[in-house]
Amino acid sequence: MAELIIGGARSGKSAHAERLARQAEAGGLSVIYLATAAAAPAADPEMQRRIAHHRARRPAHWRTLEVPLHLAEALMAHASPTTCLLVDCLTLWLTNLFFAGQAAAQAEAGETLACPLLQDEITALEAALPRLPGRVILVSNEVGWGIVPMARLSRAFADEQGRLNQRLAAVCATVTLVAAGLPLRLK
């Protein structure tokens, strides 16, 4: 069973996802946390503080895997009927894909995004989710709820994030919106 949890920045979506993972653990599942943001030396101090905050909040006995790019592959390798996989977050994963491939450069140039890495990874994740055994919890941002960004790259990213959320919501059994720390089940 896959669940998509969406919300804005600091909405409480990660905390909600972690509560669900703890409940799954109380029910007998082991938890593997798939972190899409690695504390790379290039990460700015604010991002490193965010990563540290997430690390400190989750139980130390949860296994953590850093998965900046090939998420579907990692999910398929670690999914089992006795495991809860928690992915936090798809927005950072999409950012990684934008900059690992040509999507960011294409967006900056005003070109149509034709980045095989980006599209192949999203398609692989979309195809994998319904087939995975066990529990899968995905956290993602709703980035398009504010003003339309001025920069091409930001607009292209917001568009792709919205499309990603729609595609995954279609294949997940449950979709929950978190706002002000309150979960609202959409599907």
Residue 43 has pLDDT above 70, yes or no: no
Q: Lowest-pLDDT range, 6-10, 41-45, 97-101, 117-121? A: 41-45
Catalytic-role residue among 16, 53, 54, 78: 54
Identify the pLDDT of residue 61. 95
70 catalytic? Reply is no
The CATH superfamily of 2-185 is P-loop containing nucleotide triphosphate hydrolases (3.40.50.300)
Q: Model-level pTM?
A: 0.93
Identify the pLDDT of residue 40. 53
Domain ranges for the chain, please list them: 2-185
Q: How far apart are CA 137 and CA 88, in angstroms?
A: 8
Instruction: Tell me the pLDDT tens digit for each residue of 128-148.
Output: 999 999 999 999 999 988 888
Mean of all residue pLDDT scores within the chain = 92
